[in-house]
Structure 1
Amino acid sequence: MQAIVMTGTGGPEVLVPREVPAPRPATGEVLIRVEAVPVLYPETQLRSGAFPMAAPPPVVFGFQAAGKVIEIGDGVASDHLGRRVVADTAGFGSYAELVCVNAQSVTPIPDGVSAADAAAAVMSGSVALALLDAAALTGTETVLVEAGATGVGSYLIQLAREFGAARVLATAGGPEKSRRARELGADRVIDHRPAQWTDDVRTDSDPTIDIVFDSLGGPSATALLATMTPGTGRMLSYGWLSGEPARVTAADLIPGGLTLTGCSGPAWHERVARSRTAILDRVPSLAPPVETTLPLERAAAAHELVESRVPLGKIILRPGPAPR
């Protein structure tokens, strides 16, 4: 079968198309004929060596895939056969025509939702649902969504009012992404490219921010504390697109009675996993999640696109021959 092998750590060029043996499902596993592979920003960090891989290269790359279950291993219920699913791998193996995964890691795709849309929405959307649940909105809060034009931020904007946000602010990088954040439903958008962008958050109409969904990290997280509602303001930190985690200490939080929740670790990932069915059910009512579909062998080009941060939607890899 065709697969993309990560030959070492480095730039996108380390992702090389190769013919490899087809996998077979072990006990508790299912075999999926892959129809769509989402290219995830964290994958670019793993490929580059910024974070360690679960298995050393050379290894078939990839963390998620969508497709149809065509074979089951011992101990797996027969009703899995023929089911359309989105699946997580054990840390590698999804950039391929076939992938074996633990049967417990699959989420059924609802009727009317394509494999590509399911693959594009499931990760960012389920993280957004988990964040909104953890935020415990009451219906009165003003929220700030960082990097709101793409990825998790785009789902936070679309779903925030459903979960109780009264007003939704967002940040974005430049005019095109600012326009996109407004289209998704943001009431106001701040350009986060200037170094002192946090100075523009508070206005007469938005004197304080109740909740910050922090995906940028770095020093801006500390600067935002001055804009937050004393006593009840809360920051949920789940990323560091700036290149470093939020620079926030207890000494920064205590004077204002603020809280910071670190959204990571095994318990958090379980919470995200429990949100997958709910986000797939919502896909038809959300903005189309796929921007570009490329053949599997162009995985390196897909990584270049993701790292450019230009795309507004998800990049999907399609195994097999191009459709006629």
Structure 2
Amino acid sequence: MHAILLPRTGGPDVLEWREVETPRAAPGEVVVAVAAAALNYSDLLQRRGTYSLGIPLPLILGIECSGTIVELGDGVEGWQVGERVCALVAGGAYAEQVAVPAAQLLSLPANVDPIAAAGLPEAACTVWSNLLDIARLRPGETVLVHGGAGGIGSFAIQTARAMGCRVFATAGGEAKLSRCSAFGADRAISYRDEDFVAVVRAETGGRGVDVILDNMGAPYLSRNISALAHDGRITMIGLQGGRSAEVNLGQMMGLRASLFTTSLRDRPLAEKARIVAGVRRDLWPLLENGRIAPVIDRTVPLREARAAHAYMEGGGHVGKILLTA
């Protein structure tokens, strides 16, 4: 088969379209013929050589995809060859085929396009594990989503809105702010021109927000704490702005605040299986009844992954960028 290989770190030009060995299904796995794979920010970090997990090269990028099951490994039950699925994977999705643990498969939601479904697993699993599982978001609470126009942010806004929460979202530029409002944000905040702490404080009568989903890390931490309500929770899913920051523990204690730093890819298989099961139970019905929908910026042929990476690095996308096999 063919795949996009990352032989060394660098810019988008290091990605190579190569013929590689076709995967086989190990016990408990299936092989999926990939229809589409989605780009994620972690793919850029791996390509640049700044990914914290330090996975050795060469490798095939890609942590989510959609496609059709073409092989079942020993012990796999409940799935059939020919069934269309989407999947969370630990890598290897930028390829014509990928081996996937059966516990990380999801059936395609009714009425969701099979290509667009490639942009669902990572966002859905990240949002479920952080907002619903870790932060224990409840209907009627108030949420602040940073990076509201991205793949995870757009899914988080829709999920919180579907739960009956009040949603604030940050983004840059009028077009992205408008899209955040269309996704369901009650107030879209320009991180370029507005102080999100002042906005949420004013909009909540000084109370602050119950939950913050943050992808920026260090430069936002102190401001996130200042934006929290009592008993507020911050779930930090990315460090796009930096890794090191001072924390005012006295301020956090005064608010009875909680800070969670989380990741998805390096969790054990059993934990990923639990998250996928939670997504299937809690979020798939919202997709099937149309209350949440995948947000796709554009599709690019798999062999043109270099162009897709360059486009993503430009920061102008809204939602997911997909690579079609």
TM-score (normalizing by structure 1)? 0.86
Q: Does 1:273 align with 2:276?
A: yes
Alpha-carbon distance in structure 1 between the residues aligned to 2:164 and 2:203: 22
Once the two structures are superposed, the pairs formed by residues 35-74 of structure 1 within 5 Å of their partners are: 35-51=35-51, 55-74=55-74
- Residue 67 of structure 1 deviates from its aligned partner by 0.8
Alpha-carbon distance in structure 2 between the residues aligned to 1:56 and 1:226: 39
Query: Residue 28 of structure 1 aligns to which amino acid in structure 2?
Result: G
Contact 2:170/2:196 (8 A) holds in 1: no
User: What residue in structure 2 maps to residue 322 of structure 1?
Assistant: none
User: What residue in structure 2 maps to residue 310 of structure 1?
Assistant: 316
Once the two structures are superposed, the pairs formed by residues 30-179 of structure 1 within 5 Å of their partners are: 30-51=30-51, 55-77=55-77, 79-89=79-89, 91-133=90-132, 134-165=134-165, 167-179=166-178
CA shift digits 1:64-105 (9 cap, x unpaired) = 22111112233334842122122233x332211112222233
- Residue 51 of structure 1 deviates from its aligned partner by 1.3
Alpha-carbon distance in structure 1 between the residues aligned to 2:237 and 2:4: 29
Q: Does 1:291 align with 2:297?
A: yes
Distance change (3 Å), C-alpha of 1:28 and 1:129: closer
What's the Cα RMSD here?
Answer: 2.6
Greater Cα shift, 169-178 or 201-210: 201-210
Alpha-carbon distance in structure 1 between the residues aligned to 2:273 and 2:30: 20
Distance change (3 Å), C-alpha of 1:245 and 1:263: farther
User: What residue in structure 2 maps to residue 282 of structure 1?
Assistant: 286
Alpha-carbon distance in structure 2 between the residues aligned to 1:263 and 1:124: 14
What percent of counterpart residues are identical? 34
- Residue 124 of structure 1 deviates from its aligned partner by 1.0
- Residue 259 of structure 1 deviates from its aligned partner by 2.1
Distance change (3 Å), C-alpha of 1:257 and 1:53: closer
- Residue 8 of structure 1 deviates from its aligned partner by 0.5
Contact 2:109/2:287 (8 A) holds in 1: no
- Listed as ranges, the gaps of 5+ residues in structure 2 are none
Contact 2:87/2:121 (8 A) holds in 1: no
- Residue 271 of structure 1 deviates from its aligned partner by 5.2
- Residue 138 of structure 1 deviates from its aligned partner by 4.3
Query: Residue 150 of structure 1 aligns to which amino acid in structure 2?
Result: G
TM-score (normalizing by structure 2)? 0.86
Q: Does 1:18 align with 2:24?
A: no
Alpha-carbon distance in structure 1 between the residues aligned to 2:49 and 2:245: 21
CA shift digits 1:8-32 (9 cap, x unpaired) = 0111111110122322223332221
- Residue 112 of structure 1 deviates from its aligned partner by 3.2
- Residue 196 of structure 1 deviates from its aligned partner by 5.1
Alpha-carbon distance in structure 1 between the residues aligned to 2:64 and 2:101: 12
- Residue 189 of structure 1 deviates from its aligned partner by 1.7
Alpha-carbon distance in structure 2 between the residues aligned to 1:77 and 1:59: 29
